[in-house]
Amino acid sequence: MSETAAQWAATRRARAEIDLVALGANVRALRERAPGAALMAVVKSDAYGHGAIPCARAAVAAGATWLGTATPQEALALRAAGLPDDVRIMCWLWTPGGPWREAIEADLDVSVSAMWALKEVGEAARRTGRPARVQLKADTGLGRNGCQPGEDWAELVREALRAEREGLLRVTGLWSHFACADEPGHPSIAVQLARFREMTEYAEQQGVRPDVRHIANSPATLTLPEAHFDLVRCGIAVYGVSPSPEVGTPADFGLRPVMTLSASLALVKQVPGGHGVSYGHHYTTPGATTLGLVPLGYADGIPRHASSTGPVLVDGKWRTVAGRVAMDQFVVDLGGDRPEPGARAVLFGPGDRGEPTAEDWAQAAGTIAYEIVTRIGTRVPRVYVNE
């Protein structure tokens, strides 16, 4: 869909273009990597900042049969958006008193890591009169959410089967999550895989008949075929960003970054040498030069840690954030060039039009590209291109 004049006017200051054709192609590339498994597009945190509903639709159109979120509220919003009924939606971050009943009525797959959650979901199912779809989560070594192996797992499996026999729930999945899949060859990967096999085999011997067993996130989908099982859960790779430089570049896997973040220069002005720039004067112009004002700041998700380091493409040249990133704006030294006010400053994009990438910003800010794209704030309009 081409953009209207009104849309362009509303997004003059700054915009995050979201290329849904690239997203669809990424989903297809990931399906080719894991041909024996179904694909879950992880669209939590507003699809890593890309917009949950449009991205979910594009992912489903490209062959994702599952969607994943952290919170039940995110999953309920997806169901309410009217995606095809046969799309399975799973959410995994529950706290006591959560909306179990609504989740059961919306046919969500809910994750259970502990007895308190199994009890709450069973009680909600009794009140609702419908069985819940429950996926038991094993902590195979991440040390975060998930049920510990041994006694805890035996109790959870036993009680889940008891509730299943009572008609309160169906155990639809057995699953886990990797700690270090973004560091290929890390010794914890083999340990977690072995433990996952043991814990799923134990549950199956006890009588669990899951629809799906799954442990692979994006890095495991890209690098570890033995971890694919029945379903792969891909987040960052769906958005065309590599999980880590050690895993490879997006192009190595046929992926293309989906988000391009740009802004219009709000001011271009000449200043003399020795001029302090932005709060704290952490940058001083080395000589007479031009400064460009980029109307994006940490309130928009531009990391303050990228002060004096973040790269920006202006008029075909890479420039660097001059001094501190402020709440709403930062400055680049244009080295005497005089682009017109309104000229486009591209912070990051796919990288094949000369612009930096989210990975470049991650390195400039000492973080990971996940954080760069996910934290782009709600004040930046998302513009869906190639819908």
Ligand X SMILES: Cc1ncc(COP(=O)(O)O)c(C=O)c1O
Interacting residues toward ligand X by CB under 6 A:
42, 92, 177, 217-218, 233-237, 243
Could you write out the DSSP letters of every residue in 200-238? Answer: HHHHHHHT---SEEE-B-HHHHHH-GGG-TTEEEESGGG
Q: Least distance from C-beta 241 to ligand X, angstroms?
A: 9
Q: Is the dihedral of CA 103, 105, 107, 113 positive or negative?
A: positive
Q: Least distance from C-beta 239 to ligand X, angstroms?
A: 8
CA dihedral 189, 29, 145, 166 (to 10 degrees): -110
Residue at token pair 């991440």: 142
State how beta strands 344-348 and 330-333 pair: unpaired
Q: Least distance from C-beta 330 to ligand X, angstroms?
A: 28
Return the number of the residue (29 or 234) whose C-beta is nearest ligand X. Answer: 234
DSSP-based three-state secondary structure for 385: strand
Distance of CA 4 to the CA centre of its chain: 28
Q: Out of 202, 279, 283, 384, which one is annotated catalytic?
A: 279
44 is catalytic: yes
Q: Out of 44, 283, 298, 384, which one is annotated catalytic?
A: 44
Q: Least distance from C-beta 224 to ligand X, angstroms?
A: 12
State how beta strands 259-264 and 14-19 pair: antiparallel
State how beta strands 212-214 and 169-175 pair: parallel
Return the number of the residue (42 or 364) whose C-beta is nearest ligand X. Answer: 42
Return the number of the residue (192 or 217) whose C-beta is nearest ligand X. Answer: 217
Return the number of the residue (139 or 355) whose C-beta is nearest ligand X. Answer: 139
H or E segment at 358? helix 358-365
Distance of CA 156 to the CA centre of its chain: 29
Select the residue whose beta carbon is closest to ligand X and give its number. 235
Return the number of the residue (174 or 234) whose C-beta is nearest ligand X. Answer: 234
Distance CA 244, CA 183 (A): 8
Distance CA 275, CA 281 (A): 9
Nearby residues of 115 by Cβ (< 8 Å), 6 or more positions away: 155, 156, 159
Return the number of the residue (200 or 218) whose C-beta is nearest ligand X. Answer: 218
158 labelled ligand-binding: no
Distance CA 368, CA 365 (A): 8
Q: Least distance from C-beta 287 to ligand X, angstroms?
A: 44
324 labelled ligand-binding: no
Q: Least distance from C-beta 255 to ligand X, angstroms?
A: 12
Nearest to 189 by CA among 154, 217, 161, 164: 217
Binding annotation for substrate: 144, 327
Binding annotation: 144, 327
The residues annotated with a catalytic role in the active site are: 44, 279
